[in-house]
Chains A and B, each alone.
Chain A
Amino acid sequence: AQSVTQLGSHVSVSEGALVLLRCNYSSSVPPYLFWYVQYPNQGLQLLLKYTTGATLVKGINGFEAEFKKSETSFHLTKPSAHMSDAAEYFCAVSGQGNNRLAFGKGNQVVVIP
């Protein structure tokens, strides 16, 4: 079975500082990896996804993530946090012959002015 681990449910970051959210995956097949963002009382919005090819993936709103097979990681970063980045972020994996997603528990990001 595929799974992802996101540590540290709440992440506080100062406005203008680096945002780093960690995601480690477990998969017996080449994984497809996703980051989704959820704003309060809303559904999930796709930030970015990794399929194959380039390991550095750029997404929306200035976010990017790097796939590192040797570390089984897909960490999400943004160089400079903005107040509008306050939301919950989920890492997800799929790939075992279908596109069903297995999600991590999420990171609640708080941006401090």
Chain B
Amino acid sequence: ETGVTQSPTHLIKTRGQQVTLRCSSQSGHNTVSWYQQALGQGPQFIFQYYREEENGRGNFPPRFSGLQFPNYSSELNVNALELDDSALYLCASSLASGVGDTQYFGPGTRLTVL
């Protein structure tokens, strides 16, 4: 059974650019959540996708957007990058989005904005 995978591993962008991060969910999981982890902080919830629909959003501006595909893989897009967007972006998948459904995390994408 393949776990959650993310690509790329590392990425360097300049301020104002756009970036797309990708996530493949664990087999059988239909829910994907994205988190931003700034240096020295705990992960912060960005948004969640359940069966291709956005299923909740944290306190992030609209320039953070996402997609989920029919195979339940997902993308996170960030437009107009700012220096503060530099962080580790974590994707997590779960069997569903119900209370107590455990989230399993990928290794993350390290984004550096210069």
Contact = CB atoms under 8 A, between A and B. Distances in A.
Interface of A: 9, 32, 34, 36, 42-46, 49, 51, 90, 92, 94-106
Interface in B19-60: 31, 33, 35, 40-45, 48, 55-56, 58
A95 B97 CA distance: 11
Interface residues of B, number: 31
Contacts of A46: 102, 104
19 contacts: A32-B99, A43-B106, A43-B108, A45-B105, A46-B102, A49-B100, A51-B100, A92-B42, A94-B99, A94-B100, A95-B99, A98-B48, A98-B97, A99-B31, A99-B100, A99-B102, A100-B33, A100-B45, A100-B48
A93 to B, nearest CB: 11
A94 B4 CA distance: 21
Interface of B: 4, 6, 31, 33, 35, 40-45, 48, 55-56, 58, 90, 92, 94, 96-108
> What is the interface of chain B mostly: helix, strand, loop, or mixed?
loop
A21 B56 CA distance: 30
Contacts of A9: 40
A90 B6 CA distance: 21
B90 A100 contact: no
Contacts of B56: 98, 100
